[in-house]
Amino acid sequence: MSSRWTVITADRLVIGTETEPIEPGVIVIQGDEIQAVGKQGETELPAGPSVETIEIGPGKTVQPGLVDVHTHLVMPGDGTPYQTFMQHDDAILLLQAAKNARTHLLSGVTTVTDTGARGGVTFTLREAIKLGLIEGPRLVLCGRPITRTGGHCWFLGAEADGSDEISRTARELLKEGADIIKVMATGGGTAGTYPYRPSLRTDELAAAADEAHANGKKAIAHVSATEGIRRVLDARFDVIFHSHFYEADGKLSFQEDVARRVADAGVQVNPTLYVNGVYVDLLQQKAAHEVLDAQEQAILEARTKRYGGQLENVGKLVERGVKLVAGSDAGWGRYPFGDLVTELQEMVRIGMPAAEAVVAATGRAADALGVGHLVGSLSPGKKADLLVVDGDPTKDIAALRRIDRIMLGGQTVERGC
């Protein structure tokens, strides 16, 4: 254990769980690990020349670093079609991933989950960070997402059909170093796939989930169709990405019985709201400065209606007790890295209290990934990954944009050029 001690005092500590903030609070760190958290004047503090004391200014909050459960590090998030970007070789994808990872870190996301990369690119990135070749956040990786032949994200390299082949693929991914198993249970934004229909049978899904669980890992499913939700529930998945209630004809139709099943099973949902909402915002911003042509106006109206339905359905899930976890889907489409906060603002928009949105992006997110023993809350024994912001994010989620300091493993992250 390191002999280096750090004592941080602040007006407010937000723990990252459902517990109330500690005001005023103190955190004791030894090396890269939190040793004690408590109220000032009531917590035993180390003494001696090896102790550094950091006094956080008035009105600021110290909380755990943010956890994003859903990104695609090898993708640019600038609207470049995947068909174009995936023509690059792995060296370019690695450089893109390194840039994205650091951008997210500098926005306060100290744990980044990649849920779909090509080949072993993100495993190489993690090793480079570990060796100190580049600076980046903690990475939780699935490697290649499992999909049917020609299924959503087939170009990332983990096509598999039938329960036996899917089991074997999951084992290969675990051997490569996967922390989670990600499966495409429906089609998605990949040309030639069907986002409104399931793409795998229940037995195929169960094969992947069983391999994950047998190795102490979480099973996560991309699902946009209601029938797909039913199947991943039958297969005992832990987390659902998107969870749109689309019927086979492409219409949104909230299903009460399915929502109740999600809640009763304790399955957590990452709704990825803004990856869809960003298109509405971009067109509205354009309309504020110029007249949209007929096609653009039609797209804006259709996307606004669809996004409104998605927001409404996620709000209904929350009302029925479904727990949300925060994930941006950054990299895909037009969602750039460095802006998880907008996703949190959308979660607040549907009625989630700001304090719960913070938990959804810290402690609950870490637990959903199976890394809650390491990160996600200000607790003894966890890594000292901290975010200091101006204001109180449990009352104003936008305070997470007003970053004062980021710490990774007890070390301050330099945010200059």
* Model confidence pLDDT, tens digit, residues 197-236: 999 999 999 999 999 999 999 999 999 999 999 999 999 9
Distance (Å, rounded) from C-alpha 117 to C-alpha 172? 15
Neighbouring residues of 63: CB distance < 8 A, sequence distance ≥ 6: 13, 14, 15, 16, 358, 362, 378, 386, 387, 388, 389, 393
- Torsions phi, psi of 386, nearest 5? -125, 150
Q: pLDDT band at 1, cuts 50/70/90? A: low
Q: Yes or no: is domain 5-64+376-412 CATH 3.90.480.20?
A: no
Q: Of 274, 395, 373, nearest to 327 (Cα)?
A: 274
The token pair that represents 200 in the structure block:
């795998």
Structural domain boundaries in the chain: 5-64+376-412, 66-368
pLDDT digits (tens, 9 = 90+) for 18-57: 889 999 999 999 999 999 999 999 999 999 889 999 999 9
Tokens 């002999």 sit at which residue? 3
Q: pLDDT band at 416, cuts 50/70/90? A: confident
Residue range 318-330: average pLDDT? 97
| pLDDT number for residue 405 | 98
Q: Do domains 5-64+376-412 and 66-368 have the same CATH topology?
A: no
Q: Yes or no: is domain 66-368 CATH 3.40.50.620?
A: no
Distance (Å, rounded) from C-alpha 96 to C-alpha 91? 9
Residue range 66-78: average pLDDT? 98
- Cβ atoms of residues 173 and 142 within 8 Å: yes
The token pair that represents 293 in the structure block:
């042509």
pLDDT digits (tens, 9 = 90+) for 3-28: 799 999 999 999 999 889 999 999 99
Residue 410 carries which side chain, given as an amino acid letter? G
Q: Tell me the pLDDT of the chain averaged across its residues.
A: 97
| pLDDT number for residue 347 | 97
Indicate if the pLDDT at residue 286 is higher than 60: yes
Q: Of 206, 200, 175, nearest to 185 (Cα)?
A: 200
pTM here?
Answer: 0.97
| pLDDT number for residue 191 | 95
| pLDDT number for residue 137 | 98
Q: CB atoms < 10 A from the CB of 215, how many?
A: 12
Residue range 357-369: average pLDDT? 98
